[in-house]
C-alpha cells in the first residue's frame, strides 16, 4: 500500500489484522499557498475507512487522532495553530473536558478559553496534584458576545489566615488579561457562545509551621439567573478550604454580579461590549475581560482593594468582611427579584424584595439550566394608608386579580377561557348535587345557558373587616382621582 504523503507531515500506516499503528506525527508549519485541508482530510478518512475492520469501528484509530489533531489546528480559521501532541496532556485534558460539556471539540479561541477553565486537573506544583472544584450552569446563548472571563486573585505571594493562625499561598501576580484560570483563587466564566457559566475554585494551599504545605479545594457556590436580554446574574461565594465555614457571606470571596451583553458584535467598532454591575467584597483583586469571537479582547473592569488593606495581614482578615458597589450596584439585580409581603409580627406586614427562583451551580455532569426572566418593573400608584393602588376603569363583570392569585388559579382561569359557560355549568352541577341531598340549591331558577349570579358572603369577623378595608380603599381611590 502506498504511503499517504502531504506537505506538512509524513506518516506510515502499517496494516495488520484489526489493528493500525502510527508513529508520532512530526509537525512542520505550512509554507505552501492555502488549500482546503478539511476537504483533503475528509477524502483521506473516506479512503481509509474502506480498509478499517468492522469490529473496531467504534475504537478511535491513529487516523482519527491525526485528523482530529490537524482539524484542531486548521478547524475554522479563527484560532491560532494548535496541534495536540500526546505530550501536551493539559491541552488534551482541556479539550476532553470541553467536549464532554458542549458535545463538540474546541474550535476557536473562545472555546479554548472555556476549555481551560473546565480542565479538572491542577498543573502548578504548589497544588501538589489537588484538583480544583468546578461547577457549571447552562444559559441561553447570545450571539456575537464570545466569553467573559473574571477571576479573583491574591497579589501577594502569601497571606495570613486569622482563623487558622497560618499562612496561605497567594497567586503572586498582578492583573493579566492572559491570566491562567488556575492562577487565581476563583475563576468565573460567562460563555455566551456555548451557553455556559463556569465557576472554578482552585485549591487553597496552607503553609504549616515546619514550612511544609498542604492543598485542598472547597466547593464554590453560585446561584444563576438570566434575563430575556441575555443578562446573567451570578450570586457566588467561595471560602478557604482550611477555614471554618461560617456562612456564605462571612469571611468569604463573594459577590452578586450582573453581566449584561452589549450592542453590536463584541470587539468591533461601535460595539459597547459586556458591562458588569453589582456588589463584591473589597478583597481580593477582581479582573474581568471579554474575548470576542473575532479575536478582539477588551478589559471590562479591574477592581483593586484599597491600598491600606492590600497586604498579607489586613487583606483577607478585613477586606473579606466589607462589600462595595460595582457600576450601578445592587440596582442591577432588581429584574431578578420580586416584591412580596413579609409578616414581621402578628399585625405587622411590609413589602420586601426577594430573589426569584434560580439555578444552583452543580457538577459538570449535572449542570442545570438557569431560569430566564423578562425585564419588568413594579406597578406603583398614589399610595395610601392601605398601600399602593392603581386606577382601573372596568366594565360590569370585570375584575382584577394579582399575579400570585393568577398563578395559583391558572387551571381554573384557563378553563373559563376555553368555555364561557364553564362556571355556569360547574355551579349548576353543584346545585343539582345539593338538591339531590335534600338541601336548598344555590342557583334556584338559573340554568347553564343563562347568566348566573354568585353571592359572596362574609362568614366571620375577619372577612367583614377585610371587606370594610376594601370599601375604604375604593372610596379613597375614587376621591383621590378628582
pLDDT digits (tens, 9 = 90+) for 333-350: 999 998 777 777 776 767
pLDDT above 90: residue 405: no
pLDDT at 447: 46
Q: Grid coordinates in use for 108? A: 476557536
pLDDT at 392: 55
The mean of the pLDDT values for the chain is: 76
Residue that the C-alpha cell 477586606 belongs to: 319
Q: Which of 212, 161, 209, 164 is nearest to 185 (CA)?
A: 161
Domains contained in the chain, number: 1
**What is the span of the domain harbouring residue 292?**
128-334
Q: Is residue 158 in some structural domain?
A: yes
Q: Stretch 152-159: mean pLDDT, rounded?
A: 96
Sign of CA dihedral 84, 88, 89, 95: negative
Q: Phi-psi bin for 448: left (phi > 0), alpha (psi -120 to 50), beta?
A: alpha
pLDDT at 477: 62
Whether the link from the prior residue into 73 is cis, omega within 30° of 0, is: no
Q: Stretch 48-60: mean pLDDT, rounded?
A: 40
pLDDT above 80: residue 202: yes
- Count of CB atoms within 10 A of residue 145's CB? 27
Residue-wise pLDDT for 156-194, tens only, equals 999 999 889 999 999 999 999 999 999 999 999 999 999
* Residues pairing with 340 in the sheet: 352
Residue 448 confidence class, pLDDT cut points 50, 70, 90: very low
Lowest pLDDT segment from 50-59, 221-230, 242-251: 50-59
pLDDT at 247: 74
Lowest pLDDT segment from 215-219, 283-287, 334-338: 334-338
Phi, psi of 454 (to 5 degrees): -110, 120
Q: Is residue 450 in some structural domain?
A: no
Sign of CA dihedral 182, 187, 192, 196: positive
Distance (Å, whole) CA 34 – CA 425: 76
Lowest pLDDT segment from 128-132, 442-446, 451-455, 462-466: 451-455
Above pLDDT 90, what percent of the chain? Answer: 47
Q: Is residue 319 in some structural domain?
A: yes
Q: Is residue 248 in some structural domain?
A: yes
Q: Which residue has the higher pLDDT, 224 or 401?
A: 224
Structural contact between residues 363 and 136, judged by C-beta atoms closer than 8 angstroms = yes
pLDDT at 82: 43
Helix (H, G, I), strand (E, B) or coil at 11: coil
pLDDT at 37: 46
pTM of the entire structure?
A: 0.63
Out of 70-84, 213-227, 333-347, 454-468, give the one with best mean pLDDT: 213-227
Which residues are CB-contacts of 413 (< 8 A; sequence separation ≥ 6)?
406
Q: Is residue 293 in some structural domain?
A: yes
Distance (Å, whole) CA 3 – CA 390: 82
Q: Grid coordinates in use for 116? A: 481551560
CA distances from 351 to 29, 198, 378, 400, 470 (A): 66, 34, 12, 20, 19
Residue 432 confidence class, pLDDT cut points 50, 70, 90: confident
Q: Is residue 138 in some structural domain?
A: yes
pLDDT at 250: 78
Phi, psi of 349 (to 5 degrees): -120, 145
Q: Stretch 337-365: mean pLDDT, rounded?
A: 84
Lowest pLDDT segment from 53-62, 233-242, 291-300, 317-326: 53-62
Structural contact between residues 116 and 147, judged by C-beta atoms closer than 8 angstroms = no
Distance (Å, whole) CA 192 – CA 140: 8
Distance (Å, whole) CA 312 – CA 387: 51
Lowest pLDDT segment from 123-137, 222-236, 258-272, 355-369: 258-272
Structural contact between residues 332 and 278, judged by C-beta atoms closer than 8 angstroms = yes
Residue 471 confidence class, pLDDT cut points 50, 70, 90: low
pLDDT above 80: residue 93: yes
Q: Stretch 52-78: mean pLDDT, rounded?
A: 41
pLDDT at 399: 58
Residue-wise pLDDT for 292-314, tens only, equals 998 899 999 999 999 999 988 88
Residue 99 confidence class, pLDDT cut points 50, 70, 90: very high
Q: Is residue 123 in some structural domain?
A: no
Q: Grid coordinates in use for 428? A: 349548576
Distance (Å, whole) CA 443 – CA 445: 6
pLDDT above 80: residue 386: no
Residue 470 confidence class, pLDDT cut points 50, 70, 90: low
pLDDT at 265: 78
* Residues pairing with 169 in the sheet: 158
Q: Which residue has the higher pLDDT, 122 or 263?
A: 122
pLDDT at 401: 61
Distance (Å, whole) CA 57 – CA 297: 42
Structural contact between residues 303 and 285, judged by C-beta atoms closer than 8 angstroms = yes
pLDDT at 96: 96
Distance (Å, whole) CA 87 – CA 387: 69
Residue 136 confidence class, pLDDT cut points 50, 70, 90: very high
Amino acid at each position: 500500500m502506498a504511503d499517504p504523503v502531504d506537505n506538512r507531515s509524513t506518516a506510515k500506516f502499517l496494516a495488520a489484522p484489526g489493528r493500525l499503528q502510527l508513529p508520532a506525527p512530526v509537525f512542520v508549519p505550512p509554507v505552501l499557498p492555502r488549500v482546503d485541508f478539511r476537504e483533503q482530510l475528509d477524502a483521506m478518512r473516506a479512503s481509509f475507512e474502506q480498509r478499517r475492520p468492522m469490529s473496531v469501528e467504534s475504537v478511535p484509530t491513529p487516523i482519527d487522532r491525526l485528523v482530529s489533531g490537524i482539524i484542531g489546528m486548521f478547524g475554522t480559521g479563527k484560532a491560532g495553530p494548535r496541534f495536540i501532541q500526546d505530550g501536551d496532556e493539559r491541552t488534551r485534558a482541556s479539550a476532553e473536558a470541553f467536549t464532554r460539556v458542549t458535545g463538540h471539540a474546541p474550535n476557536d479561541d473562545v472555546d479554548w478559553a472555556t476549555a481551560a477553565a473546565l480542565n479538572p486537573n491542577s498543573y502548578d506544583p504548589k497544588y501538589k496534584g489537588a484538583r480544583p472544584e468546578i461547577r457549571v450552569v447552562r444559559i441561553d446563548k447570545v450571539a456575537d458576545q464570545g466569553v467573559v472571563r473574571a477571576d479573583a486573585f491574591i497579589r501577594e505571594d502569601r497571606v495570613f489566615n486569622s482563623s487558622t493562625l497560618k499562612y496561605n499561598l497567594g497567586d503572586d501576580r498582578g492583573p493579566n488579561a492572559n491570566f491562567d484560570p488556575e492562577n487565581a483563587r476563583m475563576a468565573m466564566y460567562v460563555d455566551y457562545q456555548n451557553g455556559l457559566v463556569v465557576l472554578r475554585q482552585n485549591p487553597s494551599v496552607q503553609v504549616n509551621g515546619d514550612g511544609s504545605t498542604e492543598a485542598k479545594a472547597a466547593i464554590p457556590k453560585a446561584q444563576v439567573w438570566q434575563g430575556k436580554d441575555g443578562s446573567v446574574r451570578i450570586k457566588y461565594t467561595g471560602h478557604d478550604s482550611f477555614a471554618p465555614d461560617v456562612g456564605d457571606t462571612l469571611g468569604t470571596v463573594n459577590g452578586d454580579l450582573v453581566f449584561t451583553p452589549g450592542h453590536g458584535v463584541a470587539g468591533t467598532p461601535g460595539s459597547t461590549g459586556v458591562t458588569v454591575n453589582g456588589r463584591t467584597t473589597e478583597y481580593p483583586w477582581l479582573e474581568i475581560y471579554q474575548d470576542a469571537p473575532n479575536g478582539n479582547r477588551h478589559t471590562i473592569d479591574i477592581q483593586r482593594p484599597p491600598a491600606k488593606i492590600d497586604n498579607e495581614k489586613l487583606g483577607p482578615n478585613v477586606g473579606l468582611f466589607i462589600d462595595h458597589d460595582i457600576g450601578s450596584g445592587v440596582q442591577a439585580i432588581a429584574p431578578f427579584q420580586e416584591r412580596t409581603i413579609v409578616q414581621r409580627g402578628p399585625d405587622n406586614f411590609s413589602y420586601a424584595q426577594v430573589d426569584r427562583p434560580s439555578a444552583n451551580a452543580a457538577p459538570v455532569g449535572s449542570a442545570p439550566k438557569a431560569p430566564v426572566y423578562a425585564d419588568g418593573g413594579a406597578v406603583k400608584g398614589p399610595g395610601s394608608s392601605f398601600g399602593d393602588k392603581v386606577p382601573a376603569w372596568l366594565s360590569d363583570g370585570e375584575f382584577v386579580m394579582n399575579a400570585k392569585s393568577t398563578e395559583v388559579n391558572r387551571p381554573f382561569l384557563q378553563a373559563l377561557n376555553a368555555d364561557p359557560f364553564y362556571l355556569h355549568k360547574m355551579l349548576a352541577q353543584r346545585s343539582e348535587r345539593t338538591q339531590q341531598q335534600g338541601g336548598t340549591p344555590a342557583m334556584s331558577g338559573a340554568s347553564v345557558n343563562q347568566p348566573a349570579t354568585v353571592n359572596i358572603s362574609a362568614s366571620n369577623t375577619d372577612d367583614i373587616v377585610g371587606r370594610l378595608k376594601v370599601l375604604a380603599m375604593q372610596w379613597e381611590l375614587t376621591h383621590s382621582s378628582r
